[in-house]
Structure 1
Amino acid sequence: MNKKGILLLVIVMLCSTLLAGCGGSDKKTEAPAAGKKLVIYTSMKESLISQIVEGFKKKNPGIEVDYQSAGAGKLMAKIAAERQSGHILADVIWTSEVPDFYSMKKEGILEQYKTPLINEILNPFADYDGSFTAARLGTLGIAINTDKIKTPPAQWADLLKPEYKGAFAIADPALSGTSYMSVALLEKQFGWEFFEKLRDNQARIGKGSGQVIDDTASGELSASLAVDYITNDKVNKGAHIALYYPPELLVVPSPVAIFKGSSNIDAAKKFVDYLLSQEAQTLIAKEGTISVRKDVKSPEKFKLPEAEDALKRSIKIDYAASLATKEATIKKFTDTLQVKK
């Protein structure tokens, strides 16, 4: 090969090397590999979680997110099955069944993450250690069908009146974490005698938290024990229902936690921080529930109590203790309200 040929070959080799090096920058724009998505399990309704995920992705454009929205009971069963197979697929869990979080903490499967935003929120957990953080203060009241009930209920005892006979329901606490907590709170405040009186007035056990509200809106029920944001969503869509709060308030925090061993730990921490941010908490408040942030107020149309007032009025309970009695409480509730034939 002559000198010109050798020179040409060297030039070609140099260009190939440079082009190969330049190609590395393009890989940053490629979609994440399978299994690299941040995965969230939540019992929050689709319209809420989808907005929050979209907001998070805009703030963190390099992070891919997937989520599954289902009842807390179904999610816990899914997690149990995944643990049996050796790996929890989710990175983050956000539901309203507080005892589950104490159970997971006890079993050592939650990452301790103390968010830097903790001083900006109202924390209902006196034993907070970062294993989970309240991301929402859910409330439950009495939803009535306004075509059927003309005098709004002012206290829990009003549910024992004739107009509610055979027409009031509580979602099955075995299916709904929120319902379980509400049953535990009412039992703590009024004892099982209250549920016995409900049974005598032919109160029913409904299905999920959303189903009893749907049945109230349709007129199949006159009233139900109802979650705030689900009820307010129906009101916004024109349903003839209204939500009323007796003085003894049912407040059910919705904790968020990160699973230990998550392969997306940094992204999971960013999601928790975003969920507690003013932007995400404003989305939560707009859905008709109470934000944990002191600087985010619920829209006046929902007639929700202020967060600090809600916690002050709330029925107090030992969440860890409620875990130990969960199965017994659900059985007692079912046995009490089931109509004997």
Structure 2
Amino acid sequence: MSRKTWLGIASVSALALTASMGSAFAQSQDLIDAAKKEGQLTVIALPHDWCGYGDVIAGFKAKYGLQVNELNPDAGSGDEVEAIKANKGNTGPQAPDVIDVGLSFGPTAKKDGLIQPYKVSTWASIPDTAKDADGYWYGDYYGVLAFEVNKDVVKESPKDWADLLKDDYANSVALAGDPRTANQAIQGVYAAGLSAAGGDAAKAGAAGLKFFSDLNKKGNFVPVVGKIASLTQGATPIIVRWDYNALADRDNGKGTNIDVVVPASGVVAGVYVQAISAFAPHPNAAKLWMEYLYSDEGQLLWLKGYCHPIRFNDLATNKKVPADLLAKLPPAEAYAKAVFPTLDEQAAGKAAITAGWDGVVGAAVK
């Protein structure tokens, strides 16, 4: 594939020259002009209360004057990948330009030819372990699985995964997605399994399925997608979800007393990744979006939404993280036991959980 095709830019010598300079193309006027000519960006699965995406999208629109077409905010990672597949020949509004998916979905999307490479100008400050060497996908932010608890309903918050099996939590516990397709839910099952298996990653998938099977048989599992509305209404007073989502709900709970608990064991850190569709109808807008997300400005907007941006260490080293943002995060010791599963471990866990959920747990999450 030629570099010109790789960049998805028309045969304009000035743009080709800039592209050959790599990072010099970042947010250049050439890229901005090319993106504005396309007119819009199509994103998918970006709820405004997830990781501060409301402010991120608003900031991008204000900075560059592009429209942002937002598809299916509640979609899971699997749905995002399927949306690319389903719209390969479609340049209309249902074709996503970019995706934000769980780490394990990046390599598979690359293998299936669904995403295209692009290295942002801040590429060097993204840890090597959190990016594809060829630029097909790269980590954007991370968090840990936590318990979000409605304290107006649940008087004593669970401290660890095993606590969820107690009689006190009858008809109370939900996942924040369908564990057959949504990365957040898959990782929730994996984290429970890692705790039950004593930290043995090889057994985490199967152990997680058994844990949720027991939870379901006990009558503690609620087979609906847990959201802030169901939490505040008391329908799902305990939700297993990423800490950044739970912390955002804590601030915006509209009077509900919300507790956020990082479990004592099975503390699984999840890295999400960005990628550009190989069939993006607006490839230059997609590249400009990536440049914005990985700029200091974009990274700090994610941190404002309680996500640890992938360039956090670089920002902290250069004293670019405002003290007021750091003060709102949980204490560092809450994350001391955090485990970052390898790609192979995630892939094995994902395969076991998605394939075995119906047979082992038998609860259709809707």
Q: CA deviation at 1:136?
A: 1.5
Matched, 1:157 2:184: no
1:67 equivalent in alignment to 2:82: no
Q: Which amino acid is 2:124 matched to?
A: N
Q: Deviations over 1:271-307 (max 9, x none)?
A: 212102221122212223322222247543342649x
Task: Name the % identity.
Answer: 22
Name the structure 2 match of 1:113. Answer: 118
1:83 alignment partner, SS class: coil
The structural deviation recorded for 1:322 is: 4.0
Pairing partner for 1:301 from 310, 328, 335:
328
CA gap of 1:301–1:86, structure 2 versus 1, over 3 A, is: closer
Whether 1:167 aligns to 2:172 is yes
**Map of 1:15-30 to 2, 5 A cutoff?**
none
2: CA distance, partners of 1:251 / 1:235? 20
1:328 offset after TM fit, Å? 4.3
- What is the one-letter code of the residue matched to 2:113? G
Corresponding position of 2:306: 288
How far residue 81 of structure 1 moved from its aligned partner, in angstroms, is 1.5
Relative to 1, partners in 2 of residues 1:167 and 1:208: Cα closer, same or farther, differing over 3 Å? closer
| 1:176 aligned onto 2:182 | yes
**Range 296-305 or range 135-144, more displaced:** 296-305
1:314 and 2:317 correspond: no
For residues 324 and 103 of structure 1, do their structure 2 counterparts lie closer, same or farther at Cα, with a shift above 3 Å needed? farther
Q: Does 1:228 align with 2:243?
A: yes
TM-score of the superposed pair, with normalisation by structure 2: 0.70
The answer as to 2:59 corresponding to 1:55 is: yes
Corresponding residue SS for 1:152 = coil
1:206 matched to 2:223? The reply is yes
Match of 1:22 in 2: none
The answer to whether residue 287 in structure 2 is matched with residue 269 in structure 1 is yes
Over the residues paired in the alignment, what is the CA RMSD in angstroms? 3.4
Tell me: CA distance 1:124–1:245, structure 2 relative to 1, closer, same or farther (3 Å): farther
Q: Which amino acid aligns with 2:57?
A: V
Q: Greater Rg, structure 1 or structure 2?
A: 1
Shift of 1:105: 0.5
Where 1:206 maps in the other structure, the secondary structure is: coil
Describe the shift of the 1:60–1:165 C-alpha distance in structure 2 as closer, same or farther (beyond 3 A).
same
> How far apart, CA to CA, are the structure 1 residues paired with 2:291 and 2:347?
27
- Alignment partner, residue 92 of structure 1: 98
Corresponding position: 1:245 with 2:262: yes
Tell me if 1:257 matches 2:262.
no
* Structure 1 residue 196 displacement after superposition: 4.0
CA distance in 1, matches of 2:43, 2:347: 21
Q: Is the 8 A contact 1:40 1:90 kept in 2?
A: yes
Contact 1:51/1:283 (8 A) holds in 2? yes
Whole-angstrom distance in 2 between the partners of 1:169 and 1:328:
20
Q: Choose which of 38, 43, 46 in structure 1 pairs with 2:45.
A: 43
- CA change 1:261–1:44 in 2 (3 A) is closer
SS of the residue 1:130 aligns to? coil
For the residue of structure 1 that corresponds to 2:188, the secondary structure is helix
Q: What is the identity, as a one-letter code, of the residue corresponding to 2:234?
A: G
Structure 2 counterpart of 1:303, one-letter code: P
| Cα pair 1:275 1:281 within 8 Å, conserved | yes
* Structure 2: segments with no counterpart, 5+ residues: 1-32, 198-203, 316-320
Post-superposition CA distance 1:71-90 (Å, at most 9, x none): 12443332222126699833
Question: Take 2:104 and 2:344, find their aligned partners in 1: how far apart are those partners?
Answer: 6
Q: Which amino acid aligns with 2:45?
A: S
- Partner residue, 2:130: 125
Greater shift after overlay, 74-83 or 278-287?
Answer: 74-83
The Cα shift of 1:133 comes to 1.1
TM-score by length of 1: 0.74
Aligned residue for 2:118, secondary structure, equals coil
